[in-house]
Structure 1
């Protein structure tokens, strides 16, 4: 289930061409909880909603759910007889694809709260799978398992093996063999069942499962049983999971989106859940405003003003963060002491994040964005948006190292921690990587592999430090602008 760039491209293209029988491309919320006027577009079939507590993650999930007939609005947005007077103005508008309703394209529907009642007209039908946060509650604390507690043996039961496809998917997510699981169902009440497993030739029931173990089996079972073109909604996908299992779960959802033409929306607080997603697949919710882009959980702290330092620098990705950090370390250490550098997603998302930050009257710390040097011109001028030297930053740094390989080989040997490799061999390896590599994002991982499986992070930071050390003239305008904008 490893994700390739071709997988992302093909899924993006499917959404772009609207090649679905059922899909929810857009929703617009007016006065719904903390959202006054907010549009969310689902430009990728697997979408993550991140945000601060109370920022609006669950609101987006619920708004998507009630676009369809099978979900009652009160399940996500119940009306209390105390304190919910403001619900009278709630409205959600949808752009919807449902070929059985409109074979040619998109049509619109809405859900609104009027006269103390939710109203939806001509609501389309679609399979909707809702996987709530309660899934990780231990079995002994859930009423549906009470029938299985007791010392006497239950004999009127049916035992069935977990579907082999489900077991295979669970095994890949958890990183262990899941083929020994079975489901036991009460014949008197087929709606009640419990999982059992085998460990060292001993049976053990769901009462003794780990929190994530049962959760993953149930989640995957529901998803695999769902019809094609379903909408799958998952609250806090990382709940009960090891960080690596969280990433594998998201990789599995890519596979589901591809195989079953499903649309998946999940909320999360985990960076691991965001690793494989493209920027357009991530929405960050902060105080009733949602921003699209590869925001990190860390960057949300800056957007809400909760940073430990009084300056913020927003960049596009991890490489730009390392490069900017090195530039400041060598040429403006006083700024590095005052500023936090945050990944905020690719262009143009990073510019939108900066705009929100600098126009928020409650945030006092100053901020700039440093964008990559290969972006198109800004749609509107912004003197707090600065630019790295022209070209993709990875190509600029590696290009300098490759061009000056004979001169800098000794520094590469030192800073990439490979003293056993001769300088001549380092030069030859750099030249060969430059020839073999067509994707500039892979320069550093490939060089690390060929220099003796050195960590990409060590190689990347080592080469950045060499480039910055020797590019004082080229970097002077950026350093000057950073000092000016962050100290004015």
Structure 2
């Protein structure tokens, strides 16, 4: 299930060309809970909704579900008989594709809560798979499994092997071989089944599964059995999963979008779930406001003014964050103590996030945005936007080290913690990477591999520190801007 950049590009282009029989293009929460006039565009077939607790993630997921006939509004937005007067005049608007209704364009629909009742006219038919948070509740605590508990073996139980396709896909997410796994029903026609596992030739039931193991198999089973073009809604994708499995689960969902032309929306608190997704596939929510782009939870808090230092700085990604923090450390450590640096995704998301932050009247600490050096046309001091030196940060750092590698080899040997690698070999490694690698994001991981599987982080930080040490003057505009902000604060 390896996902390549070409897969991401192809799926993005497919949405732009509207090459789907069914697709939810846009949701507008005109007045739902804390959201007022919030528009969510679904620019990629797999959309992640990340956010803090009570940030609005489940509201967006539920709003998406209500676009289709298969979902009852009360499943996501039940009305209490003792409260919930705030639901009056809720309204959600949709732009969607249904080629059985309109062969070439999009159609508009809405859902509204009027006179204590949900109203949805001309509902669209589409298969919707909802994967709820309750999936990780242990089997022993779920009423539907009570009939599988007993000390005597059930006669007549039907046991069927789990399909090889589901075993393979779930096994890839969990990182284990699911050979011998099966499902048991007390009667052939039953819809409720219990999973059975196998380890070292010993069988065991779902009552002894890990929470993540059972939920992944069940989730993948329901997704694989769903028709093509379905809408799949998942609450808290990372629930019960370790970070690597969470990342693999996102890879699986992108693969589902490719194979089955499905559309997926999931909520999460985990940044591991975002690693394989492009920035336009991610919406981050906090306090009834949603922002598109690859934002971390810390970045979200900064947008809302929850900044513990004197200056907020938004950059594009981890590499830009490391580069800027190293420059501050070497040039003016006072600024490093005063500044909070957050990654906020590429252009234009980065600038939009900074502008949202600065327009917030409750925010006392104003922010600046620092885009990569290949975006010089957006540098504008009056709008608090600056650029890093060079072109893309990875390319600038690599090119400088590569051009001077013979004189820097001894320093690289020390800072990469690789005394066993000769200086001559270090020179040859950089020459090889320069010739063989076209993706700038892979430079430092490949250098680490060639040096004897040294951590990418170690190599990256070593190269960044050397680059800054020899190019301090290139950061002068940023340093001066931060000093002015500190003086104004």
Shared fold (TM-score greater than 0.5)? yes
User: Residues 27 and 379 from structure 1, CA distance in 2 versus in 1: closer, same or farther, beyond 3 angstroms?
Assistant: farther
Between 40-49 and 424-433, report the one with greater CA deviation. Answer: 424-433
Say whether 1:218 aligns with 2:188: no
RMSD of the alignment, in Å?
A: 1.7
Report deviation, 1:204: 1.5
Mapped pair 1:265 → 2:265: yes
SS of the residue corresponding to residue 462 of structure 1 reads helix
Aligned counterpart, 1:254? 254
Alpha-carbon offset, residue 382 of structure 1:
4.7
Contact 1:129 1:230 in 2 (8 A): yes
CA contact (8 A) 2:370 2:388 kept: yes
Whether the 8 Å CA contact 1:29–1:93 is kept in 2: the answer is yes
Distance 1:380 1:109 in 2: 41
Q: Is the Cα contact below 8 Å between 2:309 and 2:339 reproduced in 1? A: yes
Q: How does 1:7-406 map to 2 (within 5 A)?
A: 7-187=7-187, 190-375=190-375, 377-378=377-378, 382-406=382-406
Whether contact under 8 Å (1:15, 1:43) holds in the other structure is yes
Structure 1 counterpart of 2:415: 415
2:251 and 2:276 in contact (8 A); partners too:
yes
Distance in 1 of aligned mates of 2:200 and 2:14: 46
Deviations 1:347-385 (A, max 9, x none): 111111111222223333342221101126349875322
Cα distance in 1 between the residues matched to 2:400 and 2:61: 47
C-alpha distance in structure 1 between counterparts of 2:487 and 2:400, whole Å: 31
Deviation, structure 1 residue 152: 3.0
Question: Is the Cα–Cα contact under 8 Å of residues 375 and 387 in structure 2 kept in the other structure?
Answer: no
| Residue aligned with 1:97, SS | strand
> How many Å separate the matches in 1 of 2:101 and 2:244?
41
CA contact (8 A) 2:379 2:386 kept: no
Q: Deviations over 1:88-120 (max 9, x none)?
A: 221111111111111112111111111211111
Distance 2:405 2:378 in 1: 35
Q: Return the alpha-carbon distance in structure 1 between the equivalents of residues 9 and 477 of structure 2.
A: 36
Q: How far did 1:189 drift?
A: 6.1
Unaligned residue ranges in structure 1 (runs of 5+): none
What is the 5 A alignment of 1:457-472?
457-472=457-472
What's the CA shift for 1:285? Answer: 0.5
Deviation at 1:405, TM superposition (A): 2.1
Deviates more, 1:246-255 or 1:393-402: 393-402
C-alpha change, 1:361 and 1:87, in structure 2 (3 Å) is: same
TM-score (norm 1): 0.96
Change in CA separation of 1:423 and 1:277 when aligned onto 2, cut-off 3 Å: same
Q: For 1:144 and 1:379, how far apart are their aligned partners in 2? A: 60
Greater Cα offset, 161-170 or 198-207: 198-207
Distance 2:145 2:38 in 1: 41
Please identify runs of 4+ aligned residues in structure 1 that moved more than 4 A: 379-382
The unaligned stretches of length 5 or more in structure 2 are none
Residues 188/472 of structure 1: CA separation in 2 closer, same or farther (3 Å cut): closer
Asked if 2 retains the 8 angstrom alpha-carbon contact of 1:366 and 1:486, the reply is no
Q: 1:46, 1:6 → 2: CA distance?
A: 15
Contact in 2 for aligned 1:384/1:485 (Cα 8 Å): no
Report how far residue 13 of structure 1 moved. 1.1
- Conserved? CA contact 2:380–2:386, under 8 Å: no
